[in-house]
Structures are given as structure tokens and as C-alpha cells.
């Protein structure tokens, strides 16, 4: 069609590499939008008497043109009339001069709202430093509506309507012949002017949005008068959370929309731009300390650059331990708010600052009573007042916690109350968490409980937990590994507790693969058993681990000797025998005896199915929620479900090592790990299953597994250590599916974390990038298709 001769004489086609000679006013075609933006900004910078930043002007004009292309009024016919352009340009300049300049490098907040919406009145809230003004300034650049910005901090309530009305009239109709005089009638008050403004806008089919900053400083009744003057005017109110916000919500019948702050990814991008080093977990800690508020996060990162060798984790540790020597902007700004609280309110924030998880009112009151002897009615009153100021965040019906940004100030106040008060509050929080642990296994509450155990030096429950398989599966060991190391090395701790601390560390070491460290710890465990004549349970525990370690090293002689030794010690109960047979099977796998391993695990799987009251048909094609009701009896089967999953997992590994697909072994292992709440193994097996899908060319199945199960699970469970490995694997899966742009974008989002990762993590990311690059050049085999005879859909 382009090569045809029937085009009008004033139509020409141009593209990158082919410019138009017919009209020098036309720009040279750009290869992409980024180059187009740069070129337009360069042109805008040549305008005489330029007041606005070139980028600001380009964004705003682009927004108006896009609106016109969609038929949005006042350019519903998709046309700009030349003689109207001076008025349009003048309006844009006036509007944008009103707004504070946006940051040079603005980073969006999580779930950031649009400036313009169907709601006529909106209330946007956040502490000072939450980025309210930056958000409104940035979004104004991309909005085609008529806008006006006013900081009403120093305007008295009665004068508000008049001040806003007269300035708005001049801005919207100052150059319109006769219109301004009609609106600013002699003797007209602010409400009458606003009514006339709204009527004129309606006649011209135009809308206007007024942004009022610091709205919390104006009485709610005066805001109501201003807003009620005309239904054709829209309002966006920016306010800091305090009691005035509650009155505005009630008076105007609106619900506050909080700004949620930066995501982990955004904070990492900002940190990377400053040269900071930090992995996903480090930035997660930083966001907990700053509440994700942009100003506080930026300030903390700059302190990391200047005082902590750009190490985000070191900064976080210093702030958490309150050993940092540079006061943060967060502490300086929020201190003014904190100082306005009553003593009971400060004590409430202080006591609850120990908890980074929501507590219900009974739990919170209990902590406050123990720490500061405040009775429940007084505590409830303090909680109500703190909620109005935004210091407390409410979840659900009655669960709440101190806002993350306010917690450092609360903790500092708690420390100022003395060591005894701190210990009293920590003990009270520990007791509250322990009381609810049997019925509430929330991962974050357990993490908090572990921290209280460590802080209070409660050795016994920690070493007991460290010997529990599910404790490791939930990823808790990383929280206390350093503490367990100290316990194992302490001569003041009983030999039994030192042994089980080492046992937990060795169990974790098997997954991480540090053979040298495990050999040393196993030797220490043997010495503790021998010197202190520890019991049968300890001898079996160290023996089983010694056998698996020897199998991994290919030491058949030691494996046989250890198996013989353990056979004489082992109690002849079905439970002990099943665990021993699984460990033998694991050793056989490590020694490469896959057929024997498969046979042993098959027998074990059959026994566990019988024990649970299940058949293979009960599990085939069913999700865990459908399998649970089929379990035998009403007792907890958590351990048996976990052990069945382990057997299926081991069987799948053995089958795969022969070059054969694992069949349903890994699929069913995944189900039972989920039912046992064995999160670490669930994620690991899901990743292995994704690799198996890829190996049989089922790229769609791999992507579905990632998007439906794996990614949501690690995000919902806040498994920070797993985020980067899983997301980089997801990028590779996208590449196998041919979505190379998405794969590259995902790897680009992970780049800011790379400098903060260890050598192994960096190597994984490097290999993933190389694989994606290779797939671009050499595409994989075609997607697997189900044989027609089997596809009965």
C-alpha cells in the first residue's frame, strides 16, 4: 500500500532511517519512545524565557495529545485549533508553575493511586516524608484535566473558600473575554464564585481538580463548605494522619487513601543508584525500619553510603541495635509528632514497638500492663488516640501494630525507661506469643517469638526447636543460627543443650553443603556423646547424620559400619524403623545405588499411605484441601505427611538421576509438603518440578507452575531468601516461552540486588543471564503437545 501511487500529494511515509525532505518542520523519526522523549526535551530547552523544566513541559503536552487522540473533552473531535494554542499553552504553564517541582528521578510508590478518578473528593494521607507532594507533582505531569494546587497550611478556615475561588477563577478564565467578569461578580463571596466557576466549566464541558496540601490544618467544616459549593469541581486533599483526618473523613463521608511507600524493588533501585550493596533480605529490613516512606528510605541509604561503606545490612543492624551515630531524617521529623503524645501514649508506642506483627487488643493490653502497669481501659483509650494520629495501623477488625516508621522512636523511648522495663516488655510479648502459638502458626509471629527467646537468653526452647524438622522447613534456622553457634561453644551450657544446638546446625548444613564445617560439628557431637554419656536419642541422631555424611563422600565402608552400629541401637518400633529405612535409602542414593533406593522408598511410601488412610486414587488429580478430609482419624498427621513427602521426593530424585522423568513423585511430594506446611521443601521441590517441565519441553507448564504456585507462595510467606533464586528462574522460564523482553525486564529488576549477594548467588544470576542470551540465539525445541488420543477436552 505504501508503494502505491494513489496517496494524496500531501501524504508521505517516514520512518527511522528515512526522513522527509518535503517539510523541515517534521522531526526526524525516532527509533523508540526514549529517544523521542529526549529529542522533544532538547527542543523544549531551546524555548525563549523558559520557566518550566523541559521534561515537565513535554510530559504535559504528551498527556494532552493522548487525551485528544482518545476523544476526551475539550478536544473531543481529536483536533487542536491553531488559534487556541496560545491559551492552552498559557494554561499549562500557569497550572504547572503552581505545583512544587517533582523530584528529578521520581520513583513510584506501591499501588500508587491516579490523581484523577471518578470520586469527586479524595483524601490522601501519609506522614511527613511519605511523598504526598512528590506524588501529586509527578502525577500532575501526566494528567490532562485542569489542575490547581494550593498549600492551605497558613490559610484560616473562613478565608479558605474566598482565597481558592478567586485564584482559581483567574487561572481558568483570566484570558477569556468577559468570562472572568461574569464569575467575579461585584460583592460575590467565595462560595458564590465557586458555584459560578462550576457552572461555567459545565457549560464548556470541562472539569477541574483542586489539590489542597496540608488539608489537616483546616477545620473540616470549612473544607465541607468549600467542597459543597459546586459539584463540577473535584478535590484531592493531602493530609498527615491525625485526629483532624478522622473528622474530615466523617464530615465529608470519604475514606482516607494512604500512600504505601516504596516496594523492596524500588528501594533496591534507589540504593543501586547510590552505589549501595544489599540483597533482598537487607532491603526488606530497611523497609521495616523506614516504613517504606520515600524520604526516610532515601535518607537512610545516604547514611549507609557516607557512614557504613554503602552496606545496607550494616546500616540496618546499627539502627536495629540503636548503635548508629547519625540521626536519621525519620527520627528528626517524627520526633515532633512523638513529643505531642501523652506519657501513656508514648509508653504504648514504646511497649508495642517490640512487635513488628499485629497483635489483638487483649494481647497488646497485656504487654502494656506488664511493662508499664497501665490498665486495659486506659490502654484502650491510648490505642484509640494513637490510631487517629496514624501511629497505629489496624488490620482486620481489632488487630494492630505500631507503624513501622514510628517503631524506632518507640524503641528509643523504651530503652530510656531502663533495662528492667525493656526486659519486662520483652517477657510479656514472649508470653503472649507462646500462649497463642498452638492455635496461630503465623510465620512472622514465630519469627518474633524466636527473637524474644534469643534476646532473653531462653536456651531450652530454642534448642528444642532446632531439633525439629519442621522448624527448619519454615526457614527459622537462619534467624537463630548465630545464637545456636554461641550456645554450642559455651561451657556454661549443659552438654545436652550444646549437642542439640549442634544437631540443628548440622541439619541446616546438609542443605547448604558446607562439608568442612559439618565434619567439624559432627566430631564435636561425637565428643559430647562420649564424654558426657548422653542417651540413646543423641547417639542415634549423630549416627544417622554421620552415615549420610559418609554416603555423600562416597565412603561405603563407613556407611556399612555405621548402619551395623545403628541397627543394634535402634528401638524396634515401626516409627523408628521407618525413619531409619528412609535414612538408609538416602545413603543408598548418595552412593549411586538408585535401584535399591527406589525399591526402599516405594515400600515406605506404601506404608505411609496405609498409615494415613489414603490410596493413590485419593491423591490423583486432587488439591490438598480435598485430601485433608480423607486422612485417617482426627489426630495431627503433620510428621507422617512430611515423611511421606520426603520419601516421594527422594524417589523422584533417584528416578531422575537415571535420566528418566520422575512421573508423579515430585507432584505428589509437593502436595504433601504443602499439607505438612514444610515450606522450604515445598519451594525446593517446586523449583525442581519446573526444571523437569523444561526438560520435557513443557514450557507452558513450567510457567504455569511458577505463576500459579511458586511466586505467590514465596511472596505471601515473605520468604525473602528465596525471592531472587525463584525470580531469576522465572526469567529463564519466560525466555523458554519466547517472552524475551519480559525475561530481560525481570533480570534487570534483579540487578540492583546483585552486589549485595554472596559469590554463589551472583554466579547463579550470571548463569541465568547467559542461558537467556543463548536461548535468543538458539531457540529451544518446540513446546510439548499432549498426544491427540489423550487430549479429550
The answer to which of 145-149, 504-508, 624-628 has the lowest mean pLDDT is 145-149
How far apart CA 751 and CA 433 sit, in angstroms, is 38
How far apart CA 134 and CA 106 sit, in angstroms, is 8
- Residue 514 scores a pLDDT above 90: no
pLDDT in tens, 220-251: 999 998 898 888 889 999 999 988 999 999 99
pLDDT in tens, 6-17: 888 878 788 887
How far apart CA 165 and CA 149 sit, in angstroms, is 12
pTM of model > 0.75:
yes
Question: What is the strand order of the sheet 399-402 is part of?
Answer: 359-360, 399-402, 392-395
What confidence score (pLDDT) does residue 185 get?
46
The answer to which of 233-237, 732-736, 787-791 has the lowest mean pLDDT is 787-791
Average pLDDT over residues 40-54: 77
Q: Are the CB atoms for 138 and 240 separated by under 8 Å?
A: no
Between the CA of residue 748 and those of 54, 727, 742, 751, what are the distances in Å? 28, 11, 10, 5
What confidence score (pLDDT) does residue 49 get?
57
What confidence score (pLDDT) does residue 513 get?
62
Specify burial of residue 25 (Cβ count, 10 A radius: 0-12, 13-18, 19+). Answer: exposed
How far apart CA 568 and CA 570 sit, in angstroms, is 6
How far apart CA 445 and CA 356 sit, in angstroms, is 9
- Residue 542 scores a pLDDT above 70: yes
Strands 392-395 and 399-402, sheet pairing: antiparallel
Given pLDDT bands bounded at 50, 70 and 90, which one contains residue 177? very low
Average model confidence (pLDDT) for the chain? 88
Reading phi first (left if > 0) and then psi (alpha if -120 to 50, else beta), residue 713 is in alpha
Question: What is the strand order of the sheet 233-239 is part of?
Answer: 146-151, 208-213, 233-239, 121-125, 256-258
Percentages helix, strand, coil for the chain, rounded to the nearest 5?
Answer: 65, 5, 30
Average pLDDT over residues 716-726: 88
Residue 400 pairs with which residues in a beta bridge?
Answer: 359, 394
Given pLDDT bands bounded at 50, 70 and 90, which one contains residue 195? confident
Given pLDDT bands bounded at 50, 70 and 90, which one contains residue 44? confident
pLDDT in tens, 284-303: 999 999 999 999 999 999 99
Given pLDDT bands bounded at 50, 70 and 90, which one contains residue 563? confident
- 648 vs 447, more confident: 648
Per-residue DSSP letter, 146: E
Given pLDDT bands bounded at 50, 70 and 90, which one contains residue 163? confident
- Residue 186 scores a pLDDT above 60: no
* Domain ranges (residues) in the chain: 264-457, 458-554, 571-693, 697-793
- Residue 266 scores a pLDDT above 90: yes
Closest CA to 127 of 248, 244, 293, 348: 293
Between the CA of residue 379 and those of 322, 335, 364, 365, 430, what are the distances in Å? 27, 22, 8, 6, 19
Average pLDDT over residues 479-504: 90
- 398 vs 228, more confident: 228
- Residue 792 scores a pLDDT above 70: no
What confidence score (pLDDT) does residue 280 get?
95
- Residue 121 scores a pLDDT above 50: yes
Average pLDDT over residues 471-498: 86
The length of the chain, given as a count of residues = 793
- Residue 116 scores a pLDDT above 90: no
Q: Are the CB atoms for 230 and 210 separated by under 8 Å?
A: no
What's the distance, CA 42 to chain centroid?
Answer: 37
- Residue 46 scores a pLDDT above 90: no
Percent of the chain's residues with pLDDT above 70: 94
How far apart CA 650 and CA 608 sit, in angstroms, is 14
What's the distance, CA 236 to chain centroid?
Answer: 28
Amino acid at each position: 500500500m505504501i508503494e502505491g501511487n494513489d496517496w494524496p500529494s500531501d501524504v508521505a511515509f517516514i520512518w527511522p532511517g528515512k526522513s522527509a525532505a518535503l517539510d523541515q518542520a517534521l522531526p526526524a523519526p525516532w527509533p523508540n519512545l526514549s529517544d523521542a522523549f529526549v529529542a522533544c526535551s532538547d527542543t523544549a530547552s531551546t524555548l525563549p524565557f523558559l520557566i518550566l523544566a523541559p521534561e515537565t513541559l513535554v510530559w504535559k503536552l504528551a498527556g494532552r495529545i493522548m487525551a485528544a487522540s482518545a476523544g476526551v473533552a475539550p478536544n473531543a473531535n481529536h483536533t487542536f485549533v491553531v488559534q487556541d494554542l496560545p491559551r492552552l499553552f498559557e494554561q499549562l504553564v500557569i497550572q504547572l508553575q503552581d505545583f512544587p517541582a517533582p523530584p528529578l528521578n521520581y520513583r513510584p510508590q506501591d499501588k500508587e493511586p491516579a490523581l484523577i478518578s471518578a470520586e469527586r473528593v479524595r483524601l490522601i494521607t501519609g506522614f511527613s516524608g511519605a511523598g504526598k507532594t512528590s506524588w501529586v507533582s509527578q502525577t500532575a505531569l501526566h494528567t490532562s484535566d485542569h489542575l490547581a494546587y494550593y498549600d492551605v497550611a497558613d490559610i484560616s478556615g473562613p478565608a479558605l473558600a474566598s482565597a481558592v475561588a478567586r485564584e482559581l477563577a483567574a487561572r481558568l478564565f483570566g484570558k477569556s473575554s468577559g468570562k472572568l467578569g461574569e464569575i467575579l461578580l461585584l460583592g460575590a463571596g467565595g462560595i458564590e464564585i465557586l458555584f459560578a466557576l462550576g457552572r461555567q466549566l459545565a457549560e464548556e464541558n470541562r472539569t477541574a481538580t483542586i489539590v489542597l496540601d496540608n488539608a489537616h490544618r483546616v477545620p473540616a467544616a470549612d473544607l465541607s463548605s468549600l467542597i459543597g459549593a459546586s459539584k463540577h469541581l473535584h478535590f484531592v486533599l493531602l493530609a498527615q494522619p491525625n485526629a483532624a483526618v478522622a473528622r474530615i473523613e466523617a464530615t465529608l463521608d470519604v475514606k482516607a487513601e494512604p500512600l504505601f511507600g516504596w516496594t523492596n524493588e524500588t528501594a533496591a533501585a534507589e540504593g543501586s543508584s547510590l552505589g549501595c550493596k544489599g540483597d533482598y533480605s537487607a532491603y526488606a529490613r530497611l523497609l521495616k525500619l523506614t516504613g517504606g516512606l520515600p524520604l526516610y528510605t532515601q535518607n537512610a541509604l545516604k547514611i549507609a553510603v557516607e557512614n557504613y561503606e554503602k552496606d545496607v545490612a550494616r546500616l540496618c543492624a546499627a539502627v536495629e541495635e540503636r548503635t548508629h551515630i547519625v540521626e536519621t531524617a525519620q527520627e528528626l521529623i517524627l520526633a515532633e509528632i512523638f513529643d505531642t503524645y501523652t506519657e501513656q501514649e508514648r509508653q504504648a508506642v514504646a511497649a508495642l514497638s517490640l512487635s513488628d506483627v499485629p497483635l489483638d487488643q487483649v494481647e497488646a493490653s497485656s504487654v502494656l500492663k506488664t511493662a508499664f502497669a497501665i490498665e486495659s481501659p486506659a490502654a484502650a483509650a491510648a490505642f484509640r488516640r494513637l490510631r487517629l494520629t496514624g501511629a497505629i495501623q489496624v488490620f482486620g477488625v481489632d488487630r494492630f501494630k505500631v507503624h513501622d516508621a514510628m517503631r524506632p522512636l518507640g524503641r528509643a523511648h523504651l530503652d530510656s525507661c531502663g533495662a528492667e522495663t525493656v526486659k519486662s516488655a520483652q517477657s510479656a510479648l514472649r508470653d503472649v506469643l507462646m500462649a497463642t502459638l498452638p492455635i496461630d502458626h503465623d510465620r512472622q509471629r514465630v519469627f518474633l517469638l524466636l527473637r524474644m527467646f534469643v534476646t532473653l537468653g531462653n536456651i531450652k526452647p530454642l534448642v528444642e526447636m532446632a531439633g525439629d524438622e519442621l522448624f527448619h522447613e519454615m526457614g527459622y534456622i537462619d534467624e537463630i543460627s548465630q545464637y545456636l553457634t554461641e550456645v554450642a561453644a559455651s561451657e556454661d551450657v549443659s552438654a545436652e543443650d550444646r549437642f542439640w544446638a549442634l544437631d540443628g546446625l548440622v541439619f541446616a548444613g546438609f542443605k547448604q553443603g558446607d562439608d568442612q564445617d559439618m565434619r567439624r560439628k559432627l566430631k564435636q557431637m561425637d565428643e559430647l556423646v562420649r564424654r558426657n554419656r548422653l542417651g540413646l536419642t543423641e547417639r542415634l541422631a549423630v549416627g544417622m547424620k554421620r552415615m549420610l555424611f559418609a554416603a555423600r563422600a562416597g565412603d561405603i565402608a563407613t556407611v556399612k559400619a555405621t548402619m551395623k552400629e545403628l541397627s543394634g541401637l535402634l528401638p524396634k518400633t515401626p516409627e523408628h524403623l521407618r525413619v531409619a529405612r528412609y535414612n538408609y535409602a538416602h545413603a543408598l542414593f548418595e552412593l549411586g545405588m538408585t535401584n535399591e533406593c527406589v525399591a526402599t522408598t516405594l515400600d515406605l511410601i506404601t506404608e505411609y499411605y496405609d498409615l494415613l488412610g489414603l490410596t493413590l486414587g485419593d491423591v490423583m488429580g486432587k488439591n490438598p484441601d480435598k485430601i485433608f478430609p480423607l486422612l485417617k482419624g482426627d489426630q495431627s498427621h503433620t510428621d507422617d505427611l512430611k515423611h511421606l513427602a520426603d520419601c516421594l521426593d527422594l524417589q523422584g530424585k533417584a528416578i531422575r538421576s537415571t535420566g528418566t522423568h520422575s512421573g508423579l513423585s515430585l507432584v505428589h511430594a509437593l502436595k504433601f509438603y504443602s499439607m505438612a506446611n514444610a515450606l522450604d521443601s515445598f519451594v525446593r521441590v517446586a523449583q525442581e518440578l519446573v526444571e523437569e517441565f523444561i526438560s520435557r519441553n513443557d514450557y507452558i507448564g513450567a510457567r504455569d507452575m511458577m505463576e500459579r504456585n511458586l511466586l505467590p507462595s514465596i511472596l505471601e510467606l515473605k520468604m525473602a531468601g528465596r525471592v531472587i533464586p525463584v525470580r531469576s528462574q522465572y526469567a529463564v522460564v519466560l525466555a523458554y516461552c519466547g517472552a524475551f523482553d519480559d525475561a530481560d525486564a525481570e533480570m534487570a529488576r534483579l540487578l540492583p540486588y546483585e552486589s549485595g549477594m554472596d559469590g554463589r548467588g551472583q554466579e547463579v544470576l550470571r548463569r541465568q543471564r547467559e542461558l537467556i542470551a543463548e536461548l535468543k540465539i538458539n531457540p529451544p525445541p518446540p513446546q510439548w503437545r499432549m498426544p491427540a488420543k489423550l487430549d479429550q477436552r
